[in-house]
Amino acid sequence: MLVASLILIYTFFILLLYGQGFVSLLKREFSYQTQVSIPFQLITGLMIVTTLGSFASFFIRINWEFQAGLFFGMIILGAIGIVRNYQLPIHFFKNFSILQIVGFVVFCAGAFVILYAATLPPSNPDTGIYHAQTIHWIETYPVVPGLVNLHQRLGYGSSWLLANAIFSFPFFNIQSFHLLTGALFLIMACYFYQGIHELLEKKYFFNNFLKFGFFIGIFIFLLDQTSSPGTDAPATLLTWFIIAQTIQFFETRQSRNDLEGHLLVLLIFFCVTIKISSVPLLILALGLIISLKYFKNFRKFGLIALFSVIILLPFVVRNIIQTGYPIFPGFPVDLFNLDWTLPIEKVKEEVSVIHWFATLPHMPREEFYSLGRRAQTIQWFYNQLPRHKAILLFIMATLLFNGMLCVFKDWRNFIKRNHHFFGVYLTAFAGCAFWFLSAPNFRFGYGFLLAAVCLLGVPILVFLLERYSLQEFGKLEFLSPRKIFNWLILIVCISAIGLSIKSNIQFNKIFDTMIMPADYPARSTEPCGFANFQILCQSSYNSCSYSPFPCAISGNEYVEMRGEDYRDGFRYIPSVVSPNDIPNP
């Protein structure tokens, strides 16, 4: 964990400098005097660095060359005094109560668990199938035309895999580090813990309860993904961050920070580039644009629109270069007729495979598609884990219960006072629907599903706290309802972290990664043939992992190199067979 800690410190420093640099730019353009929290600056820095890397990947590999430029930019930002002294958003170091001391210890324990989990071998099976190889391609070459033809999963152009390549440091010739997901977990844990700290100070606001719920969700549902460069956990964490921060933005509308509103709009577009299933967040972006009255200020609207395009543009262009499609595998329409475009039939098949595998992977695909939608849904629900069934049932039950409460006038007034949250609820429910119709694997849907759980449960709790305020019992302050309630919050946090320790930490191996984080696991391979070249393909586990490189899942005699070098890309052999006759590699 020693090397991992050093890399994470460097990563945080880079993100903070670039994040604060961009925040300062917006403050100057919009004449804002407000501050942005440290976690928000770090996430903003991640967005900026990833976007810079995406543009650079058109011309150079993302290796020491880009890292040198990034470091040089960091020196310039530091030299011109972009980063100033900020007061921590959590007042950890003064006026400690017993609750705050315990809370701080709980947070430190959680941070240690996350750091340890980040040093383990990746447990996400998709990492061996394509995450690690995609990162290796980004480290080795600029964006490769038709890379999708080598193996279809290599066409999944998530900006998160590029961000991992930025901070993988392969030029040290030690290993390709995969610690960026762990860095994001630590940032989000710090951000969500701010809500718990506020609750311990008896500030029972809507956004604080949401942050408390998401903090628990990190340890119960996501921690096993900490060591993987996969896209599911980052998309989930950023979805939670955007929803919680939007609620806070509207909840403090009397003194709200419009600068944060601008950044939230941009982060939504950034989240879409990480995982296309985040697209329902665009509903929230529209709500923020309306709230910020962009349509009445053409300059603000123009600048935010320009920044949004800058974030999306490299993602779309990279997709076109790698697959021939602006979004892959979302919309199988060949708009550009490029010679390296993956045949449309293969794209349609990939979409169907995703839906089948996310729904009933243990059932043969032909049998799955022979069932009607109703039968598929019944079989899908029957095969879910008990905790996943509980999430679905809780959403349906609390949605019905919230509706039944509308018979009470006080509840209706409570809803009217919080009508500005409507866009957040619409986004969460749209996200759940999109997830269910496209790829209903719970690993893909935690972002919107657990957001829906919190958004439906928290209003009832806040309403009860407003209506029946917790009163002190005379001199027995240690037994007051407020004290008991706050201790319950900490007990839940301790229990969640304890369960994650039991599930993720093997104490007999805890010293294995004390110095160096675990590398990608090695997989066995064997030579396989393509039309005019030969590389290695997996021979077991359906996985190539990171090395050897390049590696594919299987050969394909209909795929050829477009030139003499891998940099020239790959394509299906034109005019040999019709696309309908192309076998599935």
| CA dist., res. 324 & res. 336, Å (int) | 7
Paired strand residues for 572 = 559
- Spatial CA neighbour of 118 closest among 78, 167, 74: 167
Per-residue three-class SS string for 508-568 = HHCCCCCCCCCCCCCCCEEEEEECCCEEEEECCCCCCCCCCCCEECCCECCEEECCCCHHH
pLDDT tens string 518-544 = 999 988 999 999 999 999 999 878 899
pLDDT tens string 134-148 = 999 999 999 999 999
Task: Look at residue 294 in the predicted model and tell me its pLDDT.
Answer: 65
pLDDT (mean) for 16-31 = 87
Q: pLDDT band at 578, cuts 50/70/90?
A: very low
Q: Which two tokens stand for residue 318?
A: 């990279």
Cis peptide before 170 (omega within 30 of 0): no
| CA dist., res. 209 & res. 455, Å (int) | 9
pLDDT tens string 540-573 = 788 999 989 999 999 999 999 999 999 999 999 9
Task: Look at residue 87 in the predicted model and tell me its pLDDT.
Answer: 42
| CA dist., res. 569 & res. 553, Å (int) | 17
106 contacts 490 by C-beta, under 8 angstroms? yes
Q: pLDDT band at 407, cuts 50/70/90?
A: very high
The least confident of 158-172, 428-442, 498-512 is 498-512
Exposure string over 323-353, b if 16+ CB within 10 A, otherwise e: bbbbbbbeebeeeeebebbbbeebbebbbee
What distances in angstroms separate CA 580 from CA 73, 346, 474, 583, one per listed residue?
Answer: 50, 9, 80, 8
| CA dist., res. 308 & res. 302, Å (int) | 10
pLDDT tens string 26-73 = 888 777 777 789 999 999 999 999 999 999 999 999 999 999 999 999
Task: Look at residue 49 in the predicted model and tell me its pLDDT.
Answer: 98
Q: Which two tokens stand for residue 176?
A: 């390709």
Collapse the DSSP code of 190 into the 3-class scheme (helix H, G, I; strand E, B; otherwise coil) and give the result: helix
Residue pointed to by tokens 């039950």: 397
Task: Say which DSSP state 363 is in.
Answer: S
CA angle 136–140–145, rounded 5-degree value? 90
Task: Look at residue 30 in the predicted model and tell me its pLDDT.
Answer: 76
The least confident of 30-39, 52-61, 92-101, 369-378 is 92-101
pLDDT tens string 327-362 = 998 777 888 889 999 999 999 999 999 999 999 999
Element (H, E) at 185: helix 180-200
The DSSP bridge pattern shows strands 551-552 and 534-538 to be parallel
Residue pointed to by tokens 């884990």: 385
Q: What is the mean pLDDT of the chain?
A: 89
| CA dist., res. 360 & res. 367, Å (int) | 10
